[in-house]
Amino acid sequence: MTAKAGEKAQKTGDFYCAKCDEKVHVEQGKKIPACPNGHKEFETRRNEPGNKS
């Protein structure tokens, strides 16, 4: 799963930056922000409510 800053989150969860692994928490339906280091691509999403990961 790849997500980009500016897209709407399909599910609530923690998005991890593809370049620096910084975590960004996003609620479902909200726009995904850039990571704290300014990167805009996210490789993984974890800690989704209702999913065991």
Torsion of CA 36, 42, 44, 45, to 10 degrees: 70
Domain-embedded: residue 42: no
Domain-embedded: residue 5: yes
pLDDT in tens, the chain (53 residues): 689 999 999 999 999 999 999 999 999 999 999 999 999 999 988 887 766 54
Full domain range(s) for residue 17: 1-32
Burial 21-33 (b: 16+ CB within 10 A, else e): eeebebeeeeebe
Name the residue among 3, 29, 27, 25 with its Cα closest to residue 14: 25
Domain-embedded: residue 10: yes
Domain-embedded: residue 39: no
- State CA 13 to chain mean position distance: 7
pLDDT of residue 46: 85
Q: How many domains does the chain have?
A: 1
Domain-embedded: residue 43: no
pLDDT of residue 49: 75
